[in-house]
Structure 1
Amino acid sequence: MTKKPFTSHLLVRVLIGIVLGIACGLFFPEPLARVFLTFNGVFSTFLGFLIPLLILGLVTPAIADLGRGAGKWLGVTAAVAYGSTVFAGVIAFLVARGSYPWLLGGEQDVAALANPEEGALTGYFALEMEPVFGVMTALVLSFCLGVGITLIPGDTLHKTMDDLRRIIMRIVEFVIIPLLPLYIFGMFMNLTMNGQILTVISTFLKVMVVALVLSIVLLLVQYGLAGAYARRNPFALLKNMLPAYVTALGTSSSAATIPVTLRCTEANGVSKPVAGFTIPLCATIHLSGSTMKIVLFSLAIMTITGMPIDNLSYLGFVLMLGVTMIAAPGVPGGAIMAAVGVLQGMLGFDETAIALMIATYIAIDSFGTATNVTGDGAIAVVMDKLVGRGRGTPQTDTAYADEAAPSDETVLSR
């Protein structure tokens, strides 16, 4: 099998788009720059049209899959994974709210990101593509249909939603992802021409450092809690998971890391039935590292643009994000694509803010994936202890675990 070219990697192409966008923004004439801004406007409009359909097509079958053919251990594992994901979001929220006022306090001079000034460069034309329905309508409809599918006999609607999921994923894979670097190029070119690029870069370099440090802290907390509950040495447990962490850093893929994660989990003394059930399932529903990054970067954007931050409303966003992340592994390019709808619908992010979120998220995507995968091992330790107390093993759910194990086609990156 021939290897893909180095430049085919999404992260590499996005980084190239960022560098070229900054460089070209220094000398591009306005007529040429407006060509790329026209593309950005059309692309952003199409993305806005697609987001509600993406939510419906990915969240609905994800919820339906979680409720079908599984026993109580599926529900318990899902609850623990959701709690871990929300916990990571809350920790990131508290850290950001405590540190950003002084860490980013001097950066609040890019309000134009949220409200472009008159006279700023624009595209030559704009296309109107009204979404079929709103983001919140899509979320509510997805929950109703997903839960409803689990309550009715037959699988006609379930198969229909699976077909819709495959269609949406093909659109994302063959349209959105290939054009994404060009979209980010245009956004960074525009920021450079508007004189905002230095502030943006300095801001997000600081946030990246916070995100990397907090990911280590998160893993220490997860394994500290798991070790205390299972009465195991948390540092020994975490040490055994290092091969999975390193593998995830290199692949940026939870699917490619599953075999390594399984071996590391079994090395921690987790029984094969529990590991074989928990690890593939958590690869689909446990995205604590991804949620942490989205919270940190979204709050950074809200801080530097002067957007109001209501603590209770934002915590509601974290709770909703934890549910939406269930669909994230089905989206090539990372969890951020599944989170776009919630960012727009609940936080009011515009196209520039969304583009910044995508670019910064992908820049450290592998670290989020490594945090997700390593955290799966902590959940497996907890589940192994719970199963032992419950005097049974999830044997009846092992078949489901095999079916739920994500492939490289459905989980390209988290």
Structure 2
Amino acid sequence: MKLTRNILIALFLGLITGIGFNLFAPGAFEIVDRIVFNPMGTLFINAITMLVVPLVLFSIILGTAGVSDPKKLGRIGGKTVSFYLVTTAIALTIGLSLAFLIQPGAGGGFETDAANYEANEAPPIMETLINIIPQNPIEAMADGEMLQIIAFAVLIGFALARLGDKTKGILRLVEQGNEIMMYLVKLVMYLAPLGAFALIASAIGELGLSALQAMLLYMGAVILALLVHAVITYGSVLKFIAKRNPIEFARKFVPAMVVAFSTSSSSAALPVSMRVAQQDLRVSKPVSSFVQPLGSTINMDGTAIMQAVATVFIAQVYAVSLSFGDLLTVILTATLASIGTAGVPGVGMIMLAMVLTSVGLPVEGIALVLGVDRLLDMLRTAVNITGDATCAVMVSESEANHEDDEEKMTEAS
């Protein structure tokens, strides 16, 4: 709780500092940002990103080895992927509904002639699926290709589970490696207040209040949709399916959400998210080790909300009417793209470009929302990792209930 308090205080101070520099000393901000804020923020991000690949490798190997039954592993995987796809579709529906209700682009006054954006092309879904199996796992780890690392770790974990005592030395080594990574996460978290302060001050100082005012309705629609999705969708899953108290969940998960907010990276927040899930939310290590790394790669509910609101916003700015069929196309395209474009740099904008193209809207409209995307990216990343942790809690409770039922049936027979 002391760490959580310090991080929240640092977050508030960073916000005030960024606004203060932007209003009263914009010239000095560039110097302070280059000498203080940017190095401090980069140091924190580098320190925590350094742990991601070895932590994912060790934890998924352990998680898969701990689930020695292939049927159980398939059951956990099925629940996880189903949860991510369903909640992404729900997030898109919420985003579209609130965007039509608020109508952020209907007021006019947006300059579209100068709007220009060059969209990167997303790889085909089939290519992404084929590339899940790495040709060179060492290269995949060096490049941070998370889907390939996950696939390689699952195969090693499955082999360790099947070989049993023959490889118990290697399994013990992996367990010790995982303990080392978790300890290093604890050490890095002492830097979290400084990192949060520097990253927020830099982001707010660079963004400026003029950009915020011009895009107020758009930002409001995105933020409201993120809040509704987090409270209603995730809260309902926790309350009615996992039988957990959503308020207690949120209180314990705050440190991970703040790290995600500060870094704008689900992968960077993953070590903290897993530590909180396992130690504070009582999620079993095998489930957490499998569900959360996978979620940090393919679960993008917050990003989906941004795409839904941005699509309606751009359509309204360009005075293009979207039909019901177009809305269904947005939901289907964005849901499938959340997996198809996993691991691609700038994935949010690539997915948005795909969605806009699918309904005939100009991709150049992305330039209208780029100005405030840095701040919204911070918020949607916090929602993304909250969804990962919610899924982990739900699957963990579901598996515990399943094992209890199996024990009762065995005793009865």
Measured against the shorter chain, the TM-score band is 0.5 to 0.7
State how far apart, in whole Å, the 1-side matches of 2:394 and 2:104 are.
34
> Structure 2 vs 1, CA of residues 215 and 35 (structure 1 numbering), >3 Å: closer, same or farther?
closer
> Structure 2 vs 1, CA of residues 187 and 168 (structure 1 numbering), >3 Å: closer, same or farther?
same
Question: Partner of 1:92 in structure 2?
Answer: 91
Question: Partner of 2:324 in structure 1?
Answer: none
TM norm structure 2: 0.56
Question: Partner of 1:33 in structure 2?
Answer: 30
Q: Does the CA contact (< 8 Å) of 1:114 and 1:352 recur in 2?
A: no
State how far apart, in whole Å, the 1-side matches of 2:188 and 2:54 are.
12
Question: Partner of 1:77 in structure 2?
Answer: 76
Question: Partner of 2:57 in structure 1?
Answer: 60
Aligned match of 1:208 in 223, 227, 240?
Answer: 223
Q: Which amino acid aligns with 2:222?
A: V
State how far apart, in whole Å, the 2-side matches of 1:33 and 1:181 are.
16
Choose 244-253 or 151-160, whichever is displaced more: 151-160
Deviation at 1:28, TM superposition (A): 0.7
Q: SS at 2:65's partner residue?
A: coil
> Structure 2 vs 1, CA of residues 374 and 140 (structure 1 numbering), >3 Å: closer, same or farther?
closer
1:144 equivalent to 2:152? Answer yes
Q: Does the CA contact (< 8 Å) of 2:300 and 2:384 recur in 1?
A: no
State how far apart, in whole Å, the 1-side matches of 2:83 and 2:158 are.
24
Aligned match of 2:200 in 180, 184, 195?
Answer: 184
- What is the CA deviation profile of residues 277-336 of structure 1, one whole-angstrom value per residue up to 9, with x for unaligned ones? x766656655799956533455379659979x9877743553379xx9xxxxxxxxxxxx
Choose 245-254 or 95-104, whichever is displaced more: 95-104
State the identity as a percent.
13
Deviation at 1:379, TM superposition (A): 6.9
Aligned match of 1:380 in 364, 385, 397?
Answer: 397
Deviation at 1:372, TM superposition (A): 4.8
Choose 250-259 or 64-73, whichever is displaced more: 250-259
Q: Does the CA contact (< 8 Å) of 2:211 and 2:372 recur in 1?
A: no
Choose 157-166 or 283-292, whichever is displaced more: 283-292
TM norm structure 1: 0.55
Structure number with the higher helix fraction is 2
Deviation at 1:94, TM superposition (A): 3.8
Q: Which amino acid aligns with 2:33?
A: F
> Structure 2 vs 1, CA of residues 372 and 67 (structure 1 numbering), >3 Å: closer, same or farther?
closer
1:251 equivalent to 2:252? Answer yes
> Structure 2 vs 1, CA of residues 65 and 164 (structure 1 numbering), >3 Å: closer, same or farther?
same
Q: Does the CA contact (< 8 Å) of 2:54 and 2:181 recur in 1?
A: yes
Q: Which amino acid aligns with 1:87?
A: V
Deviation at 1:67, TM superposition (A): 0.9
Aligned match of 1:218 in 219, 225, 233?
Answer: 233
Deviation at 1:202, TM superposition (A): 4.6
Q: Which amino acid aligns with 1:67?
A: T
Question: Partner of 2:335 in structure 1?
Answer: 315
> Structure 2 vs 1, CA of residues 85 and 387 (structure 1 numbering), >3 Å: closer, same or farther?
farther
State how far apart, in whole Å, the 1-side matches of 2:42 and 2:116 are.
17
State how far apart, in whole Å, the 1-side matches of 2:183 and 2:116 are.
32
Q: SS at 1:105's partner residue?
A: coil
Question: Partner of 1:21 in structure 2?
Answer: 18
Deviation at 1:68, TM superposition (A): 0.7
Q: Which amino acid aligns with 2:87?
A: A
> Structure 2 vs 1, CA of residues 30 and 305 (structure 1 numbering), >3 Å: closer, same or farther?
farther
State how far apart, in whole Å, the 2-side matches of 1:151 and 1:239 are.
33
Q: Which amino acid aligns with 2:14?
A: G
Aligned match of 1:357 in 363, 377, 386?
Answer: 377
State how far apart, in whole Å, the 2-side matches of 1:260 and 1:171 are.
17
Q: Does the CA contact (< 8 Å) of 2:95 and 2:305 recur in 1?
A: no
State how far apart, in whole Å, the 2-side matches of 1:181 and 1:304 are.
34
- What is the CA deviation profile of residues 206-243 of structure 1, one whole-angstrom value per residue up to 9, with x for unaligned ones? 323222323454258758xxxxxxxxxxxxx739946x
State how far apart, in whole Å, the 1-side matches of 2:201 and 2:76 are.
41
Deviation at 1:31, TM superposition (A): 3.7
> Structure 2 vs 1, CA of residues 185 and 393 (structure 1 numbering), >3 Å: closer, same or farther?
farther
Q: SS at 2:67's partner residue?
A: coil
Aligned match of 2:185 in 169, 190, 193?
Answer: 169
Question: Partner of 1:4 in structure 2?
Answer: 2
Deviation at 1:100, TM superposition (A): 3.7
Question: Partner of 1:196 in structure 2?
Answer: 211
Deviation at 1:36, TM superposition (A): 0.9
> Structure 2 vs 1, CA of residues 378 and 64 (structure 1 numbering), >3 Å: closer, same or farther?
closer
* 1:34-53 alignment runs, 5 A limit: 34-37=31-34, 39=36, 42=39, 53=50
- What is the CA deviation profile of residues 243-277 of structure 1, one whole-angstrom value per residue up to 9, with x for unaligned ones? x2222233336877989978xxxxxxxxxxxxxxx
Q: Does the CA contact (< 8 Å) of 1:279 and 1:377 recur in 2?
A: no
* 1:105-124 alignment runs, 5 A limit: 105=105
State how far apart, in whole Å, the 1-side matches of 2:154 and 2:176 are.
12
Choose 56-65 or 278-287, whichever is displaced more: 278-287
State how far apart, in whole Å, the 2-side matches of 1:387 and 1:181 are.
46
Q: Which amino acid aligns with 2:338?
A: V
Q: SS at 2:2's partner residue?
A: coil
> Structure 2 vs 1, CA of residues 375 and 343 (structure 1 numbering), >3 Å: closer, same or farther?
same
Structure 2: 5+ residue runs without aligned partners?
A: 118-139, 161-166, 255-272, 316-328, 351-369
> Structure 2 vs 1, CA of residues 142 and 285 (structure 1 numbering), >3 Å: closer, same or farther?
closer
State how far apart, in whole Å, the 2-side matches of 1:378 and 1:100 are.
32
